[in-house]
Structure 1
């Protein structure tokens, strides 16, 4: 199983008093050794994994416990 993508985000930047925003795109690219194509591959693999997990959960979750909620497998814009 591939290792989970870990982002190197400075905690000081996440503090409420920080004025800079964390650039998640740069963090993902840096986590993939600076290779943007590898970053896209990892994000697509993560999205596929999460879709699979959502499908599994939706098969196990009854409509009563979800109060009629049904998952969406693609983002609606």
Structure 2
């Protein structure tokens, strides 16, 4: 089975994020970091609630592995 690969982020997505925050890069980065923190918390809660049998031994990783 081939490992999953994440699609490359298109430049217009970055422009969309900046536009959403009125062109303020610091505000955009802050919001993305808050989103990341929220998702890490959700992952930790899921890890604590899901049994090993339910996930068939799979354990989440809190850090992504970049092979690029």
TM-score by length of 2: 0.79
Runs of 4+ with >3 A deviation: none
1:27-61 CA deviation, whole Å, 9 max, x = no partner?
Answer: 00111111011000000000000000000000000
Alignment of 1:50-69 (within 5 A): 50-69=39-58
RCO comparison, higher one (Cα < 8 Å, 6+): 1
Count of paired positions: 57
Q: Are residues 1:40 and 2:33 paired?
A: no
Gapped regions of structure 2 (runs ≥ 5) = 1-9
Gapped regions of structure 1 (runs ≥ 5) = 1-20
TM-score by length of 1: 0.70
Q: CA RMSD in A?
A: 1.3
Secondary structure of the structure 2 residue equivalent to 1:28? helix
